[in-house]
């Protein structure tokens, strides 16, 4: 008995996904609950497990296909018995691809194939089909489009500047690809939408300050080995900025607020998003109740979320509900930037690289390890005084870390 492989529930407010990779091919044996394909939503990449044991007999949605919740992805049949009955007649070999219009069922076409046919205004019955049981594949459609284009090349055009009917030859481009078109992943599309939405919705401004990192660097140097032995994780800069931000957020609650319709929502909890760059794009996992965490808890949480992000194992719950975001462009060498808000949040703190620079201290020029920090904020909620005061408080906490311990 055949078992259908369907798109599972993807999460709150997510109704579509894209098939990225089939981990199994038609004819492969599969075990129940074994991962057989990967789906990408606009937030995460997730694996789909086999609903039963058997043999993968059909793939309905090819890689690259857009599918909705509940859509059919493929079929699993009973495991092959290995021997073919001697009395069973062998199927006659087919030497030619099946191209009969009667065998091309529009309902059976994968979504990606149907979309390609519709976009180009093609008649499926005119396209030679090479798929199983006469099904039309994406490769069939692309090959048909290429052959049609080759049959009527636009090698020459008649220009209006020469009414005599002379034909002007357009020089052909050099051989070899000079550009490549790749479909944006759902995650990249979602990132683009959210960034554009932030620019279109918020009255976004950025204010800057500079921080002397000497005290934090000395503290890290003094306790680095002891901290790692005690907690099994390194003491980084991010935990200091998370803790400093929480001190500032408690003092200036508007930076931890958001707009919902015609209301301001002030958050009395501190769920700090930490931006992580991955091969597929930027994701922002969230440290829940970061104000209740120790320095070691913050560092452990960041490490675990960072590893999950790079492996594509983050869940949607781990990326939702943040109240404030911190991003560190300094790990890539950025000296200064204007971060874009992670809507609907009203503030995002940007860290940058540490550079030794000459600064004036008590009338003398000394060399100090300095970092520029930036706060992008929604001016609809946060006034300039609050934005500047926030960065000043972060600066004070970093330059005098004892303030963090004393919540000052």
Concatenated DSSP letters for 275-313? Answer: -EEETTEEE--EETTGGG--HHHHHHHHHHHHHHHHHT-
pLDDT tier at 84 (50, 70, 90 boundaries)?
A: very low
CB count within 10 Å of CB 327 equals: 25
Q: At residue 97, does pLDDT exceed 50?
A: no
pLDDT digits (tens, 9 = 90+) for 117-147: 888 888 888 888 876 667 777 777 877 877 7
Interatomic CA distance for residues 8 and 41, integer angstroms: 12
Looking at the predicted structure, is the pLDDT value of residue 332 above 70?
yes
**Start-to-end C-alpha separation, the chain:** 68
> Is 42 one of the catalytic residues?
no
Q: Are 61 and 110 in contact (CB under 8 A)?
A: yes
| Nearest Cα residue to 104 out of 134, 72, 128 | 134
For the segment 231-253, the average pLDDT, to the nearest whole number, is 95
Give the range with max mean pLDDT: 39-43, 172-176, 191-195, 354-358: 354-358
Task: Label residue 63 by pLDDT band (50, 70, 90).
Answer: confident
H helices, E strands: number in the chain = 8, 21
Verify whether residue 311 is a known catalytic residue: no
Report the 3 state secondary structure along 61-99: CCCCCEEECCCEEEEEECCCCCCCCCCCCCCCCCCCCCC
What is the model's pLDDT at position 296? 94
Average pLDDT over residues 316-332: 91
- The pLDDT confidence band at residue 255, using thresholds 50, 70 and 90, is very high
181-190, 232-241, 386-395: the lowest-pLDDT one: 181-190
Contact predicate 73/48, CB 8 Å = yes
Domains of the chain: 3-77 (2.40.50.100), 186-406 (3.30.559.10)
Query: Which is catalytic among the residues 33, 289, 383, 407?
Result: 383
Each as own residue / partner, the long-range contacts of residues 92-98 (CB below 8 Å, 24 or more positions apart, any chain) are: 97/128, 97/129, 97/130, 98/129, 98/130, 98/133, 98/134
Cα separation of 305 and 319, whole Å?
10
Catalytic hit among 118, 379, 400, 407: 379
pLDDT at 83: 41
Q: Is the confidence at residue 366, as pLDDT, over 90?
A: yes
DSSP codes, 329-391? GGGGT-S---PPP-TT-SEEEEE--EEEEEEEETTEEEEEEEEEEEEEEETTT--HHHHHHHH
Q: Which two structure tokens, joined as six digits, stand for 47?
A: 């694996």
Q: Which helix (H) or strand (E) holds 323?
A: none
Residue 153 has pLDDT above 50, yes or no: no
Cα–Cα distance for residue pair 272/301, rounded to 1 Å: 11
Q: What are phi and psi of 335, to 5 degrees?
A: -95, -30
């Amino acid at each position: 008995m055949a078992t259908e492989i369907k798109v599972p529930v993807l999460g709150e407010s997510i109704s579509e996904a894209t098939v990225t990779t089939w981990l199994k091919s038609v004819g492969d044996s599969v075990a129940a609950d074994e991962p057989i394909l990967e789906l990408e939503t606009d937030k995460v990449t997730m694996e789909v497990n086999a609903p039963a044991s058997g043999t993968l007999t059909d793939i309905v949605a090819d890689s690259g296909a857009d599918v909705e919740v509940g859509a059919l992805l493929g079929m699993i049949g009973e495991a092959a018995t290995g021997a073919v009955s001697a009395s069973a007649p062998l199927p006659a070999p087919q030497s030619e691809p099946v191209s009969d219009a009667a065998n091309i069922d529009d309902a059976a076409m994968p979504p990606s194939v149907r979309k390609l046919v519709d976009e180009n205004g093609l008649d499926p019955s005119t396209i030679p089909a090479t798929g199983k049981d006469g099904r039309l594949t994406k490769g069939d459609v692309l090959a048909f489009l290429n052959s049609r284009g080759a049959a009527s090349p636009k090698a020459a055009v008649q220009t209006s500047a020469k009414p005599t009917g002379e034909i002007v030859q357009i020089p052909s481009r050099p051989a070899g690809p000079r550009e490549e078109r790749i479909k944006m992943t759902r995650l990249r599309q979602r990132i683009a939408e959210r960034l554009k939405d932030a620019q279109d919705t918020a009255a976004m401004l950025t204010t800057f300050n500079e921080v002397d990192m000497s005290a934090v660097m000395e503290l890290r140097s003094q306790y680095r080995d002891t901290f790692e032995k005690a907690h099994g994780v390194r003491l980084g800069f991010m935990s200091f900025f998370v803790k400093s931000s929480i001190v500032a957020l408690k003092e200036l609650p508007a930076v931890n607020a958001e707009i919902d319709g015609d209301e301001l929502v002030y958050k009395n909890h501190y769920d700090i998003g930490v931006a992580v760059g991955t091969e597929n794009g930027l994701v922002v996992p969230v440290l829940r109740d970061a104000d209740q965490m120790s320095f070691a808890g913050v560092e452990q949480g960041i490490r675990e979320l960072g590893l999950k992000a790079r492996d594509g194992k983050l869940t949607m719950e781990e990326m939702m509900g943040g109240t404030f975001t911190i991003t560190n462009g300094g790990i890539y060498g950025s000296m200064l930037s204007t971060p874009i808000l992670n809507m609907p949040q009203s503030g995002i703190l940007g860290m940058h690289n540490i550079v030794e620079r000459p600064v004036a201290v008590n009338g003398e020029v000394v060399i100090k390890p300095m970092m520029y920090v930036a706060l992008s904020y929604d001016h609809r909620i946060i006034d300039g005084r609050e934005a500047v005061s926030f960065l000043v408080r972060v600066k004070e906490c970093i330059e005098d870390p004892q303030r963090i311990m004393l919540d000052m």
